[in-house]
Structure 1
């Protein structure tokens, strides 16, 4: 099982009203939630660790996880409110305003974390859940506790506007990256993490020097490249009509993890000697499923039956 650890929230998506103007429609979301849903739709055994409310929105989140084949056994339920993210779409790109104070997700502590079963082979972390305490510290502690025997992947999916204590966030994220096996960053994330005018190749090498065996850099329409061992492998982004980019990176992550899982490579030993062909398969699957997601509105990843694999 791949266990996705992080935020489950409700995206408030703008919709046009018949008489003019806009309203906001609620949709289940969150970067880590989106990745869990995408993995479930791809037929990978998946669960989720998150603080989820017992309110109406929280029940919607749990229900959608179950409907998409994601186990809810590891959720921590509470009566606190669900995090809301107002989505602003401009020129096909999305920005967000978060309403997160004292929410069920943000208030998660390490004491709320479940004991993990032997079926859990990999942990995935990311998104805004790594920014705000106490949840961010709880996820960091879970990673530190479990990393010795389980593959760890992180996508920080950095939202600078959500970060209020940058020094604390950078320190925590550096520790987590140093304890991970795989890190996925966009080219913009990489520039935020490692400032300066150096090339992506130099910055990716510096990121690998912090600990991860594999660093994946996505570049939007220019595709993605993985750096590992003494090699690098890249894939082009499939040509598609872009409706919006909501959930694109989250879906890519699911495809990449599913691709490694296809080849039996979600273990510490396998990742240490992973081949170019395996990485190419994982990157290609990630790019393929992300292309489907951007071709339709919102975070709506494909089912296994929709793609060739």
Structure 2
């Protein structure tokens, strides 16, 4: 297995390092999952919105890795929010994945302006947890207030909060709040933000070209991406870099033969610009993604 294990608030273990499949095409996804598992990855992250849950399941089955050795997580999309709709969407996801039990089930966005729908969906996830159909439940893109509201209303604290997090959006206050509530922080777009995928890195700045990161890469004989991923591990984050290239999947996982010093971690922390690539979660509604109903 690649990297350390993290213990969630309910005692469930989760690898700190895994594979994300955001924007991975069907054929690419199967091969990426197989390659990652062959390289020691044991955490796979997908979502209903990614439309590749079936391919993730296929890759898992073809890998030959025992199911009990894996942590698989997927997410409820906001167009399926609501108690009954959430339960139906979960059933579809499980059918696509070909699994009987899911390790982690997330709400994809908090939709704070329609929080009653978010709460209905969270209550559905709580039911799935109580029935043993999922081992842990979490949220994505949630603020500390979102998490407190869900916890106060349901009595169940999200185990994980998956958020956009990279050197130019380090989110120290959010990470601190997560720790204080016993919530694991998981980073999406961990290497440089979603705008790298959109081809806008030159305009917005690219952490992988930052002199601090480049200098550390030269010092350790690693790539800038490996330095940033190691920074996440030093912070105690869970991290799920996406790639469909075999060489890059191997490279991303090759970060456990060195450590960054406290001063080096602090130097990367200091790069924080508060620069978000994805939407502001406080403003997200179903219409943000053309998912209005």
- Normalized per residue, the structure richer in strand is 1
TM range (shorter): 0.3 to 0.5
- Normalized per residue, the structure richer in helix is 2
